[in-house]
Amino acid sequence: MSGNTIFSGSSRYANDFQQIIERAVAIASLPLSQLNKQKEAMTAQSTALSDLDTKFSALQTALDNLQKATGGSSLSAALSDSTVARATLSAGALEGVYSLNVITLGAQTSTLSSASLPKVSDPATGNISAAASFTLSVGGTNYTITPSANSLSQLVQAINASPADVRATLINLGTSAAPDYRLSIQSSKLGNISIQLNDGAANLLDVLSTGSPATYQINGQPTTPISSDSRTVTISPGLSVDLLKAGTTDITVSRTPGSIRDSITALVTAFNAAVDEVDKHRGQSKGALAGHSLIFSLGASLRQIGGYSGGSGSLKDLTALGLTFNKQGKLVFDPGALDGAAASDFDSLLSFLGSTTTSGFLKSASTSLNNLEDSTSGILQTAISSLKKEILDQDKRIGDNQSRISLMRETLTARIAAADALIASLEQNVILFNGLFEAQRQK
């Protein structure tokens, strides 16, 4: 019999017996109702903890991004004419002004299969030669090219798969109705680089244009311009440029707080989102975690992060970077103050921020967040893990109670059914005897 067994009696007391069963089950279910209410409260707390974890994890990510911004990315490159070149900074870049004079952009050597070769209308099946193997010569170095099939398409793939510094492609010099596919091979590097493809009987390529190197000067030097086989050149440690056109441009590499400013803006946004999430469980909000000691700890951590002080000179606390609290306990950021601090003493700014592992604001804030988010000892993560276990234990208690109530209902129903059947039998006997007595009386 299931826990939903419904008593169906045949005596005149059947309805009374059903009420007895329902009342007994209702009384036995009171603890189960309490357990379910407790489970609902735990589930709401679990959702609230998850939301808090999301906000504080985002705050930790914003802090890590600020750490990255204090590195080499604090350098930026500005060009007086960005149409002449494009600058890229990397580790080791130095502050300074570099005058770049792009004299020529250079060109690659370009070749095309000869018009006297067999005409190819379908490169998947046709080829410019019946040879199974070819010799590709690039700058005096020979490479053996062996296509997987005798077709122009496979020849192109084999050339591009080789270590030769060239790129091969197909171009159609005919019409759509009457195609004439040719093999085009171009040097990867700039300069007068000899390119030839031989099938063992003859050379197959004609030179379309002879390449030349790119030439440029830095700060007017050297007198004989520098030659390059690439349009991407390194002009200083950590500073490379892409040459875009002939002309001159000044490249100014300087330290700016741009990336730091953006990272602090993101940090403030994440901080205020965490404040809002914590405030849901304070005062009249009466969130699922209202009155929980964890809310106090989270609030204390936020105050510690936002109230950091420990610098020296003009940079003693976060207000020197334009960070202040409003009446709602949220951070407000004035980028102008940060720019002023950077312009005044960039090294002091970096020292004040420090790093997440050594010192400064970043170390202090990182320690506070690790105390919350550490996977093994963080109080927020510990609370989440503990509540998950409590919910599992509660589910077991609820299941045990449901089984006990179902068993009780089944047992009680079976006993009352037996009693009802007995009463029904007696009632039938009474009717029978009354009928007999009535029949004797009427004789």
**Token pair for 82:** 């960005």
At 386, list the tokens. 């503990």
pLDDT digits (tens, 9 = 90+) for 320-358: 999 999 988 899 999 999 999 988 888 889 889 999 888
Who's near 236: CB < 8 A, 6+ residues apart?
A: 93, 94, 96, 98, 253
Instruction: Encode 66-78: b = buried (16+ Cβ within 10 Å), e = exposed.
Output: bbebbeeebbbbe
Contacts of 311 (CB under 8 A, 6+ apart): 317, 320, 348, 351, 352, 360
Which pair of tokens denotes residue 136? 């590709």
Q: What are phi and psi of 144, to 5 degrees?
A: -85, 125
Q: What pLDDT, on the 0 to 100 scale, is given for residue 53?
A: 94
Report the distance separating Cα 170 and Cα 186, nearest Å: 11
* pLDDT value, residue 32: 85
User: Distance between CA atoms of 96 and 104, rounded to whole angstroms?
Assistant: 24
User: pLDDT at position 365, please?
Assistant: 94
Query: What burial class does residue 408 get, using C-beta atoms within 10 Å of its C-beta: 0-12 exposed, 13-18 middle, 19+ buried?
Result: middle
Q: How far apart are CA 84 and CA 102, in angstroms?
A: 7
* In the block, residue with structure tokens 């209202």: 290
Q: Return the pLDDT at 414.
A: 82
Residue 354 · residue 361 · CB < 8 Å: yes
Cis peptide before 123 (omega within 30 of 0): no
Residue for token pair 């060239």: 166
Mean pLDDT (10-residue bins), the chain, 443 residues: 56 80 85 88 91 95 91 79 95 91 98 97 97 97 97 98 97 96 98 97 97 98 97 96 98 88 95 94 82 91 90 82 91 93 88 90 94 91 92 90 87 83 80 77 71
pLDDT digits (tens, 9 = 90+) for 255-277: 888 889 999 999 999 999 999 99
Determine the pLDDT at residue 24. 86
pTM summary value: 0.59
